[in-house]
Structure 1
């Protein structure tokens, strides 16, 4: 591995976005692969055997101390790192670097019993208890104090250890909807800070004149009872902001504490990709974001009769494209190695599926992939969760063999590695951003207006179309520069303000191509409707007036026609009155507004603005609208079937087949297959080199 010098910042173009090249990873490695290990679960006499076999299989790092607070601090203020020192030394003996973890997801029993006030309280009054995990409140100042004491001792001990490459904070930290008294106290302080200690400002933001909800003091405010029908949705919006901030602050403070002592070590955490929770990327001092991903757990999102053995074709791709733009690079901390134990049904993955997932992670630009876990546990909640080796501790599982195959293939390809940004020009020409803000989902889902509406499903209709075009996609927030993208899509971007609309307008005038969709800019950032005609916040940009919107029953969908092709819809449809500068695409039929349009486009300055005021039943309308627009913009697109995706990185093309049929891929001119063949079976992978 390249010598890690944290102060080295080399500008590089990654996926068209200017980021600092991470000093901890080397393009020549392509990616690193590791596995979780819990020394505290196993007889110490077996440790060396296990690390030796890890190394022989091809793993390059391992992962310690995620749930070990009870072993690290068996009594308050008394620490024991001797056992962990032995494990680190044995890992190093077999050329395995270590990711060290903070153990804050599993406080020891002495802490919960001595300080029960740190426990999470649910809205219904249930207080969580010792015996599981993630039962402590991030809002508790006492819990934070006790956590930070342990973390600082751990960082002092290992922060300057060259065998430790990085740190993972907590485990799958989520947003806690906690009703602990400390959370209520913290929520009031959050509101005082946000509204400048002026209760009148809060009353205005929350619209408390409605239904006699007016407050005279911040001390009168309680945590919102979300189960209570018609609870003030502006209050719930602020509560969700507060809850996400508690998680973000807890992680960020851990990170800063470690960085006081760490040298040449990165800090991340392993988020579950719950995109609408609102905390991912919200801890600015983390060096990058990582995620966990499990693909086969009893759902039926795959393709074909046994598609559940392979999984949703875009599940990893969407995570890659969401996490990468946070800091420009990312890792995957947990990737499923086989059967899991927590799904509704826990089937075996299809042979080849584990390797397919590994290549899917790699294709999006990941610098490392780690699997959970090396050994299948013999006791505890996860007894039926597969590992790289079986219950005997030595027999390699089918998924373990697929990890071994992937690692051999990566080592083979390292001789061909080029810079990360070596990608074909036609691929980069269709580089597209999807602008995403979780607060829009919060707001819309509280007032859906149609029970069939699904905000994330609406976003995914556009994403699915883009991946079928073979387009590189970044899912970005408002902090990013739009100008680097030929096309930007803002789906159902309900809450906006003048500053954002001005940014959109400038992007278009300077040559960008913006697509806005239904429900966009209907409300301000507090979730209030402006005192103006519906949709007026963006009417000067789009050139449209929104006359009204309609919602239909799912069993009686409406019809919309573009170029003679019919599409069905029911969740949301806006009836537009475009200006003379706009061109209308399509019309409604069989309704009292027959002949009216929902889609318009126009030139503005050097760019274009397209408004799609309708949500189709199956995403076919969204795909055809994008295809029509990209054709007009002379942006080349592919026509990949659903289940097949293609990405480029390091001078390599990666084609992945999640479908239930073989797929024959035509290599670009000058390309050469280096892994697999152009006839790609289900769960198959093709990797080819490109000339550039």
Structure 2
């Protein structure tokens, strides 16, 4: 009942225009900058010096108690907040607000030893143990009881403290694939609630296949995901259940804190594992936050030294995914320098840390925080850089770049304009990418081609949009489609007639919809409809899908569009188009040479384009989109990969992740505020735009 009442209040506030951004943050601040601190790691005699240094470097808030359950509750039922009170007081002395964290990622040893039944059990039978983190089961009622008791004490103590601006729940909470007894019991209850009777479950899971029929819910166990040919409908429900466990755990923490919190927001710091399915699922959070590390040994960057700068789309993608959930977002952990947990841990390129900060800001964030202030002297992360080195006084290169960013933001506050002020030509390119993690879950169990990559398929379209200088939102089906002139639904495998009808309405009312291969081929249970292959889309696209083909990666097929040839191998659908459709691309080889691969047609006031093939390098996807936007009289940019541009608060922000300088053509009447139009690698240009 309490949960329903809160959600009703939240809905009313949203209706009144009190978004998360407007309610919790002052737009005139542009963004706030903070840093993690662990008082329990350092002698109290050093705290005052450390907080003064934070203030001197320009930080505006700090972050406490993330992994401190053992210090907060040293014995079961006995609490000690005196040390934390002192740290909060010293932070306030230097005008630093505090984000308080629940410590549920690291249960104390007394809890693990006294109640071993709360420990996670992996699929192979391994039981996780004390000595690391995230070893307690979200499905354990006992663990939740003990965690909530500690959180309530913490919230009761600090919920009415004006020095505390907000709360972070847990730490990087992930979806647990937990096989302990509590999880199995909870899974059965989840299924009983969803299906009511066992016949409905058998029908949904197709258990008539291979003699899998169940006579009662008590016969069902957690699916062995590593077992070959395990029922993928069952695994689909298991993944829904697992995500729900994480979401419920966070929801209950949030609602508990809000019993006591006065004008304090609640969030958590997700790792942007978009396909796990839990991000955005905890509705009682005030907004979403994420963690992002850019340089850790991969080579997703551009050029020989790209591994020192990072993937140009890595932060942008996260911004565009997290922001639309509730209208604002923050970054709770952003890399301050060299890290310790990657395969190879190089130094970032000078300027890269500042580039990442501006990348977060460009997407519309309200705060950015870095992990951590001081490099630790012991523990798993000894080689993880901080703002300050291990001596406690020396500022690291990344520390100076954070300080530079803070000073730049303080200067830009003098040029404040409303967040919504953006050029018309920019807003005209506004595009939604419709995303549902369950499509990835379904495809992953039946990829049909080992080289298929669902998220990689999505990124081909996203990369093109960033080249166009288009503002992008990743949205879910409950959002208002009409807010976007363009919408892309990549590999949207699980669908129903209701969704197709919503797409038709969107197009008829003037929207431009791009659907791609593997879309609407299965129902929400992951079953093929009793119809011709792909028939769910026929009334929208006007096409019929004849069949699909898959090729070897070392012997790709070809499609041609406007006399340009593109290679493919992962997935290709052979289309029979409607008479009124225009064929954009055709196959040029195999036994279906000349068959259409891509079609488009007008429908009502809008258009529907169907891309039935997944190219190897994304060039086809880029060129298709280059046709659609100009056709609708929308101007697009042609930024090289590695250069991105966004607008917010009357500011244009251009970022260069590429390995060569880029000359940006400033709009008329624009005034350079930071940087130069010739942007060096890891450089930033910020300019004001005319009203």
Residue 472 in structure 1 maps to residue 471 in structure 2: yes
Whether the 8 Å contact between 1:9 and 1:21 is mirrored in structure 2 is no
Alignment-derived partner of residue 75 in structure 2? 75
Confirm or deny: 8 A CA contact 1:290 1:333 kept in the other structure: yes
Counterpart-to-counterpart distance in 1, 2:484 and 2:635? 15
Q: CA deviation at 1:21?
A: 4.3
- Distance of 1:91 and 1:456 partners within structure 2: 42
> 1:326-405 maps to which residues of 2 (within 5 A)?
326-405=325-404
Deviations 1:64-115 (Å, cap 9, x if unpaired)? 0000000000001000000000000000000000000000000000000000
Q: How far apart in 2 are the matches of 1:195 and 1:285?
A: 26
SS, match of residue 319 in structure 1: helix
User: What secondary structure, in the 3-state scheme, does the structure 1 residue paired with 2:200 have?
Assistant: helix
1:54 maps to 2:54: yes
Query: Is the counterpart of residue 620 in structure 1 residue 619 in structure 2?
Result: yes
Alpha-carbon separation, structure 1, partners of 2:642 and 2:172: 28
Q: CA deviation at 1:631?
A: 1.4
Alignment of 1:142-541 (within 5 A): 142-196=142-196, 198-541=197-540
Residues 573 and 598, structure 1, Cα contact 8 Å, conserved in 2: yes
**What per-residue deviation string (whole Å, max 9, x for no partner) do you get for residues 28-67 of structure 1?**
1000000000000000000000000000000000000000
Distance 2:593 2:129 in 1: 59
CA distance, structure 1, for counterparts of residue 674 and residue 526 of structure 2:
51
Cα offset for 1:634? 1.1
The residue number in structure 1 matching 2:5 is none
Q: Are the counterparts in 2 of residues 184 and 222 from structure 1 also a CA contact under 8 Å?
A: yes
> Structure 1's 12 and 387: CA in aligned 2 closer, same or farther, altered over 3 A?
farther
Shift of 1:22: 2.6
| SS of 1:608 mapped into structure 2 | strand
Q: Would you say the 8 A contact 1:11–1:20 is kept in 2?
A: no
Residue deviations 1:600-625 (CA, integer Å, cap 9, x gap): 11111111111000000000000000
Q: Report SS of the residue matched to 2:23.
A: coil
Aligned length: 682
Question: Is the Cα contact below 8 Å between 1:9 and 1:23 reproduced in 2?
Answer: no
Secondary structure at 1:63's aligned position in 2? strand
- Aligned partners of 2:243 and 2:276 also within 8 Å: yes
Alignment of 1:594-609 (within 5 A): 594-609=593-608
CA–CA separation in structure 1 for the residues paired with 2:14 and 2:178? 42
Aligned with 1:40: secondary structure?
helix
Q: Which residue of 2 aligns with 1:637?
A: 636
> Following the alignment from structure 1 to structure 2, what is the Cα–Cα distance between the partners of residues 612 and 563?
15
Give the ranges of 4+ consecutive aligned residues of structure 1 lying more than 2 Å apart after TM superposition. 6-13, 18-22
CA contact (8 A) 2:20 2:328 kept: no
TM-score by length of 1: 0.98
| Equivalence for 1:684 | 683
State the match for 1:3 in structure 2: none
Deviations 1:552-588 (A, max 9, x none): 0000001100000000000000000001111110211
Structure 1 residue 641: Cα displacement: 0.1
**Counterpart position of 2:576:** 577
Structure 2 Cα separation of the partners of residues 167 and 19 of structure 1: 18
Distance 1:11 1:661, change over 3 A: farther
Aligned partner of 1:36 in structure 2 is 36
Counterpart CA distance in 1 for 2:343 and 2:563 is 44
Residue 359 (structure 1) shift: 0.1
- 2:140 is the alignment partner of 1:140: yes
Between stretches 506-515 and 211-220, larger displacement belongs to 506-515
The equivalent of 1:544 in structure 2 is 543
C-alpha distance in 1 between matches for 2:580 and 2:48: 73
Partner of 2:566: 567
Cα distance in 2 between the residues matched to 1:474 and 1:366? 14
Unpaired runs of 5+ residues, structure 2, are 1-9
SS at match of 1:591: coil
Give the corresponding residue for 2:128.
128
Once the 2 structures are TM-superposed, how far is the Cα of residue 479 of structure 1 from its aligned partner?
1.3
Give secondary structure in 2 for the equivalent of 1:421: coil
C-alpha separation in 1, matches of 2:150 and 2:545: 57
1:22 partner SS: helix
Question: Do 1:573 and 1:613's aligned partners in 2 also have CA atoms closer than 8 Å?
Answer: yes
Q: Distance in 2 between matches of 1:26 and 1:11?
A: 19
- Is residue 423–residue 649 contact of structure 1 (8 Å, CA) maintained in 2? yes
Separation of aligned partners in 1, 2:594 and 2:228: 39
Alpha carbons 2:57, 2:403 under 8 Å: kept:
yes
Query: Following TM superposition, by how much is the alpha carbon of 1:12 offset from its aligned partner in structure 2, in angstroms?
Result: 9.9
Measured in 1, the distance between the counterparts of 2:330 and 2:154 equals 23
Aligned counterparts of 1:23 and 1:59: Cα–Cα separation in 2: 22
**TM-score normalised to structure 2 length:** 0.98
Determine helix, strand or coil for the equivalent of 2:535. coil
SS in 2 for 1:598: strand
CA contact (8 A) 2:20 2:287 kept: no
Secondary structure in 2 matching 1:655: strand
Give 1:20 shift: 5.6
Checking the alignment, whether the CA contact within 8 Å between 2:20 and 2:286 is kept in structure 1 is: no
Matches of 2:292 and 2:79, distance apart in 1? 33
Structure 1 residue 238 displacement after superposition: 0.3
Aligned mates of 1:494, 1:21 — CA distance in 2: 33
Quickly say closer, same or farther: Cα 1:405–1:123, change in 2 above 3 A. same
Structure 2 counterpart SS, 1:450 = coil
Write the distance in 2 (CA, Å) between the matches of 1:549 and 1:7: 44
Q: Which residue of 1 aligns with 2:24?
A: 24
1:10 deviates by 8.2
